[in-house]
Structure formats: structure tokens, C-alpha cells
């Protein structure tokens, strides 16, 4: 392992990958849009907050400015081609739903579209928008959650039951191994 | 998949896992401490910013209040027992370095400890602290990066070369499969 003194922009900022590829769904002014995100995190248990970082260059950013809510959904690796297509098509030029033939359901609590195929999803009420450098953090408060119960075992995702889509950077996708480790004392 | 209307605190907020388990290293007032985090993300390319969420209950939070910088390091799954021990021992009661026999190196640019065994690490200058619900986001500006070049291929991590430690929640750890997917048109 050798150190590099960073001068300006790093060549890449993907050392912390793999990250799960989540899909943000938003509905605004009669339009529906979806975008995959890998810069995301839970932010708080109480209140339950979840956040995604989106560049102001993205059309989804524009839609999120006016929308009061958005969805975040979790998808299996089998859906990688569709999600890659969603990420490499701009909603500014075309309607992704029509162009890519996307199916979705409506949220149960909020007016948010949720991409079909998810094994879990959050319906999030937009709470704030925080600028961090060249991206904005959109903070959402969890108002409803969806889950495929068969994907979870003992309060954690079961990688034998579902294979979440992972991203390594530079359009390289993957998935977790089904084999896991857990300390015996737990 | 069935919806739940969320009432109060969710039973879990781990649907978006697995996440890589990163290790935060901090030095303050002559003390060294390490803590694993799974709530983390890159925040910006330019300037290069990286963030971690830490609960005010944690001793690391107290140390980060006074420290001007911190490290974030990426570790292979083979280190899971040590990292689990770091996460389940409080630096408030004991010195983890002594108690767990931890080895570390010093940052090249900043006064930060970096846990031994990492295949990559960031030296981060603390830039701000943002409260989001019951956690605080510590924003760090990348001042130096370390990488094991053999772990990366074509600007993305190569899971055939290194197996990052993943976390599924409830002390369940894992790793990515070596097998990956990439669209042919890239």
C-alpha cells in the first residue's frame, strides 16, 4: 500500500465501494423519473431518515427540487441491465418509463413511484436539501416501508434468499457471496 | 413484497445493506481510537469530500469533536473478527489499541492513525459536522489517499484481488462474489 498526496481532484473516489445500487423514484409535474444511486446512507434511526447524494447536473436533481417526496428501492442483481440502462439514459431528453418500458407501483402513503422488482423500498418525505461540495444531499423521512419478507432472516438481509446489486465503479457490477460470517457469541 | 405503514421507529433500517465496513481512525489529546462505520458515503468529487455518520453516544464522536482530522480505511473480509471486536469495545472504557493489540500507521499528510491491514485509506481534514436526526455527519476533505494498487484494476476495485468486508446488519458479515458483470458496450 503506498500513499499518494492528493493534488486537486482524485482520479477516482471509489475505494469504499462496493455499494448497493439503489433506485430513486420521483414524480413531479406529471412526470415520473428513476435514477440509480450509489452515494446513499441511513442518517438517523429516530426520526428515521435516509439520504441520497445527487449532482445538480442530473435531471433527477431538478425534479427533486419541486417534488415533496421520493422513493428509494433495493433491487436484486438480476436487474442489473435494466438499472444500468436507467443510469445511462437522461430523463431530460426522454421519458425513461416509455423508452425503457419500466413498470412501477405507486407508494402506499406518498405520491412516489417505486420501480418494479424491488425486494424492499422506502417512501420518503423530503425534509431538507444540504449542499456538500458538488453534490446535494436530499434528506428523506421514512413514512412507509415495503419489504419482501422472504429476503430477510433474523432482522438482516439473507444473501441466500436475495442477491443485492452491488457496484464497484466504472460500470462494474456484482453481488455478495451467499456465504456469511457471524461471531458465535452473538 | 408488502407495505408497512411506519409508526415511530422502524424495527430495522438495514434494507439498503450490505455496506462496506470502513474503519474511522482518530487521534486526539494523546489518545488513539478506531471505530467501524457502515453509514458512510462520498459526498463530492470537487472538492473531494467523504463523510461518516456517528451517533453522539459513541466515544469516537467525542474524540471527533476536538480532532482536526480523521482517517477512513477499507479492509478485507479476512479482518472481520478484529473489526467486529473494535466495534463491540468502547474506547471510553479501555484503550482499544492496547486491549485488542491493534497495529496502525500514521498518516502521511495529517496526524491520523490508519488501522493496519487496509487495502486503501483516506486522510481527511474535518470540514464540518452536520446534525441529521440522532446521528452527526462528519464531513472530511480528502488530503491524501493510500491504496494497494494490486487491489484495483481499470479504476475499479477488483474483487478477484481483494474481498472487501461487507455488513448485512445484526453482526452478520460477508463479502462480494469474485464474479462481476459489465455491459459489453463500455
Q: Given a cut of 80, is residue B4 above it in pLDDT?
A: no
Write down all domains in chain B, each with its CATH number in brackets. Answer: 19-174 (2.30.110.10)
Contact B143 A6 (CB under 8 A): yes
Q: Given a cut of 70, is residue A35 above it in pLDDT?
A: yes
Contact B146, A4 (CB under 8 A): yes
Give residue B154's pLDDT.
79
pLDDT class for B3, splitting at 50, 70, 90? low
Please state, in angstroms and rounded to a whole number, the distance separating the CA atoms of residues A11 and A43.
28
Contact B18 A176 (CB under 8 A): yes
Instruction: Give the pLDDT confidence of B95-121 residue by residue, as tens digits.
Output: 999 999 999 999 999 999 999 999 999
**Phi-psi sector, B127: left (phi>0), alpha (psi -120 to 50), beta:** alpha
Give residue A184's pLDDT.
87
Give residue A133's pLDDT.
96
Find the CB nearest A169 among B14, B133, B155.
B155
Torsion angle of the four alpha carbons B97, B65, B51, B179, in this order, in degrees rounded to the nearest 10? 10
Q: What percent of chain B has pLDDT over 70?
A: 97
Q: Given a cut of 70, is residue B171 above it in pLDDT?
A: yes
Give residue A9's pLDDT.
76
Contact B84 A183 (CB under 8 A): yes
Please state, in angstroms and rounded to a whole number, the distance separating the CA atoms of residues A103 and A86.
12
Closest by Cα among A21, A168, A152, A20 to B179: A168
Give how far B169 is from chain A: nearest CA, Å: 5
pLDDT class for A14, splitting at 50, 70, 90? very high
Q: How far is CA A114 from CA A122, B13, B144, in A?
A: 9, 18, 39
Instruction: Give the pLDDT confidence of A144-186 residue by residue, as tens digits.
Output: 999 998 999 878 999 999 999 999 999 999 999 999 999 987 6
Please state, in angstroms and rounded to a whole number, the distance separating the CA atoms of residues B115 and B102.
7
For the residues A113-141, what does the mean pLDDT come to? 97
Find the CB nearest A18 among B50, B133, B176.
B176
pLDDT class for B137, splitting at 50, 70, 90? very high
Contact B157, A18 (CB under 8 A): yes
pLDDT class for A12, splitting at 50, 70, 90? confident
Contact A182 B175 (CB under 8 A): no
Give residue B186's pLDDT.
65
Alpha helices per DSSP H over A23-113: 59-66, 80-87, 96-99
For the residues B17-45, what does the mean pLDDT come to? 97
Q: Considering chain A, what is the average pLDDT of its residues?
A: 94
Give residue A186's pLDDT.
65
Give how far B41 is from chain A: nearest CA, Å: 6
Helix (H, G, I), strand (E, B) or coil at B147: strand
| Closest residue in A to B77 (Cα–Cα) | A181
Rounded to two decimals, what is the model's pTM? 0.96
Contact A41 B45 (CB under 8 A): no
Give how far A114 is from chain B: nearest CA, Å: 12
Contact B44 A81 (CB under 8 A): no
Instruction: Give the list of residues 6+ apart from residue B65 with CB closer than 8 angstroms, or none.
Output: B129
Q: Given a cut of 80, is residue A110 above it in pLDDT?
A: yes
Give residue A11's pLDDT.
80
Instruction: Give the pLDDT confidence of A41-63 residue by residue, as tens digits.
Output: 999 999 999 999 999 999 999 99
ipTM over the 0.90 cut-off: yes
Contact B30, A165 (CB under 8 A): no
Site of grid cell 453522539? B56
Q: E strands of chain A, at which residues?
A: 2-5, 19-20, 22-28, 31-37, 40-44, 49-54, 69-74, 104-106, 113-115, 120-132, 135-147, 152-153, 156-157, 166-169, 172-174
Contact B2 A135 (CB under 8 A): no
Q: Considering chain B, what is the average pLDDT of its residues?
A: 94
Site of grid cell 457496484? A167
Which residues of chain A lie closer than 8 angstroms to B166, CB-CB?
A: 18, 176
Query: Looking at A24-33, B95-104, B148-157, B176-185, which range is the least confident one?
Result: B148-157
Instruction: Give the pLDDT confidence of B57-83 residue by residue, as tens digits.
Output: 999 999 999 999 999 999 999 999 999
Which residues of chain A lie closer than 8 angstroms to B21, CB-CB?
A: none
Closest by Cα among A176, A110, A91, A29 to A102: A91
Give how far B109 is from chain A: nearest CA, Å: 7
Give how far B31 is from chain A: nearest CA, Å: 24
Backbone φ and ψ of A139, nearest 5°: -95, 125
Contact B19 A15 (CB under 8 A): no
Closest by Cα among B157, B173, B171, B182 to B74: B157
Choose the mutation target among B41, B61, B82 for the interface with A, i.e. most A CBs under 10 Å: B41
Contact A174 B157 (CB under 8 A): no
Q: Given a cut of 70, is residue B1 above it in pLDDT?
A: no
Amino acid at each position: 500500500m503506498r500513499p499518494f498526496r492528493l493534488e486537486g481532484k482524485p482520479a477516482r473516489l471509489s475505494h469504499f465501494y462496493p455499494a448497493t445500487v439503489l433506485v430513486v423514484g420521483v414524480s413531479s409535474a406529471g412526470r415520473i423519473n428513476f435514477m440509480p444511486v450509489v452515494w446513499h446512507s441511513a442518517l438517523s434511526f429516530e426520526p428515521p431518515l435516509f439520504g441520497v447524494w445527487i449532482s445538480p447536473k442530473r435531471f433527477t436533481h431538478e425534479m427533486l427540487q419541486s417534488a415533496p417526496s421520493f422513493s428509494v428501492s433495493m433491487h436484486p442483481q438480476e436487474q442489473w441491465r435494466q438499472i444500468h440502462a436507467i443510469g445511462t439514459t437522461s430523463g431530460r431528453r426522454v421519458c425513461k418509463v416509455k423508452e425503457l418500458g419500466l413498470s412501477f407501483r405507486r407508494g402506499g402513503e406518498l405520491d412516489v413511484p417505486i420501480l418494479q422488482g424491488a425486494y424492499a423500498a422506502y417512501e420518503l418525505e423530503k425534509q431538507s436539501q444540504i449542499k456538500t461540495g458538488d453534490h446535494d444531499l436530499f434528506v428523506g423521512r421514512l413514512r412507509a416501508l415495503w419489504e419482501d419478507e422472504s429476503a430477510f432472516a433474523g432482522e438482516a438481509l439473507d444473501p441466500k434468499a436475495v442477491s443485492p446489486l452491488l457496484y464497484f465503479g466504472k460500470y462494474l457490477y456484482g453481488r455478495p457471496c451467499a456465504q456469511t460470517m457471524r461471531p458465535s457469541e452473538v
